[in-house]
Amino acid sequence: MLNRKKELLEGLADNTLTAAGLAELMQGIRAGDPEMAEAIGELLADGERTGLLTPEREQWLFDKVMSRAKQADKRVRWLPAYSWRVAAAVTLLLAGSGIYSSLQKQKKQHTLAMEQRRPAGNKAVLTLANGRQVELDSAGNQQLQEGSAQIQQQHGELKYASNGTAAEGAYNQLSTPRGGQFVLQLPDGSKVWLNAASSIRYPVAFGQERVVSITGEVYFDIRQDAAKPFIVNTSRSSIQVLGTAFNIMDYADETQQQTTLVSGAVKVMAGKEAVVLKPGKMAVVKESGISVTNVDTGSVAGWRTGEINVQGQDMAAVLRQISRLYNVDIIVQGKLPPDKLGYITDKHTPLATMLELLHEHGLQTKIDGSAIIVTSKQP
């Protein structure tokens, strides 16, 4: 029966509902049918029709019905006066049946839940060589077998132990969603931290070279082995490593890649250019080439210990970071102000606090389903 309710509501929204169907729809609404309430709730969740029962969408509903009167649909010929009464009746029935108030309450609860949302913490997906995917989270404690390699998950960390005889070409991939982070210990003992919306692809057992590929933001603490160079490939560069600790930020939606050296030495290569970094230096890779600058390594890599740092970032970069950390879509309406932000907090900070930060810089925000609509008054 639920499918029939959805069919009726979709027919109303898409201008295909017959007179008999409209009568059936109104009867269900008038009766306060719980299945009808569920169907309306799902229609409201549709991104194209979110807010159907707000004043603007009530007007939309009225205009929909009125337009059918003018179009003289071949299936049903509507009289203008009757159409007006139908639009009014549907709106009033929704408001008076209890469905409207129930849906409004659900909407308020959803908005409150969104405002209190925090970064999800330890969460990732492990893709094994055979394509099998294993979901990982903070509470997990399990052991997996991949060829000769033993894989142990202990809460928010994944550890590999291998005798070095794994099948050649056997690769695993660890990926974090928006809002998630995870820690990985590679087969050679090197340790890797993945920030939100990031991934690393690596062999189950290393050969003469230790080569991995990453996306997003990843921090490495490499176990030194002069006989086996460690190489990190990104979409824009290749980084050669000995024993060292460094951070790479290479999100696809960012205009540049950043490699920050904490200790040791790394060589960053992009195109025909190459630079060797010293601790406290950052290599920035853009289409125009590589540049090197001084940085506070603690601020750059503070995300590993739960820090959220938007110091010195422009508004667009801050919005991208909020989207990744809090697992929300950001829709910008208007031109963003040129402000540079100076703010440090931690992963326990609710989304509402981050939105208040935007308000302080003249932006307005509205929660719309799983998205945040950011409106700027900039010309």
pLDDT in tens, 332-356: 999 999 998 888 999 899 999 999 9
Query: Which pLDDT value is given to residue 90?
Result: 54
Query: Which pLDDT value is given to residue 260?
Result: 97
Query: Which pLDDT value is given to residue 274?
Result: 95
d(CA 117, CA 281): 34
d(CA 362, CA 236): 35
d(CA 160, CA 129): 14
pLDDT tens-digit readout, 87-126: 444 554 455 455 556 666 777 888 888 999 998 789 999 9
Which residues neighbour 152 within 8 Å (Cβ) at sequence distance 6 or greater?
Answer: 142, 143, 144, 158, 159, 161
Query: Which pLDDT value is given to residue 234?
Result: 97
Spatial CA neighbour of 61 closest among 35, 115, 25:
25
d(CA 46, CA 196): 26
Query: Which pLDDT value is given to residue 84?
Result: 41
Query: Which pLDDT value is given to residue 89?
Result: 47
Q: Mind listing the domains of the chain with CATH numbers?
A: 2-115 (no CATH), 121-300 (2.60.120.1440), 306-376 (3.55.50.30)
| Mean pLDDT computed over every residue of the chain | 82
Given a cut of 50, the residues of the chain with pLDDT beneath it are 47, 49-54, 57, 65-66, 68-89, 92-93, 96
Spatial CA neighbour of 301 closest among 367, 221, 222, 197:
221
Residue with tokens 């919306």: 197
Which residues neighbour 249 within 8 Å (Cβ) at sequence distance 6 or greater?
Answer: 216, 217, 257, 258, 259, 260
Query: Which pLDDT value is given to residue 52?
Result: 42
Query: Which pLDDT value is given to residue 167?
Result: 53
Query: Which pLDDT value is given to residue 48?
Result: 52
Query: Which pLDDT value is given to residue 324?
Result: 95
CB neighbours (10 Å) of residue 34?
12
Residue with tokens 């945040």: 372
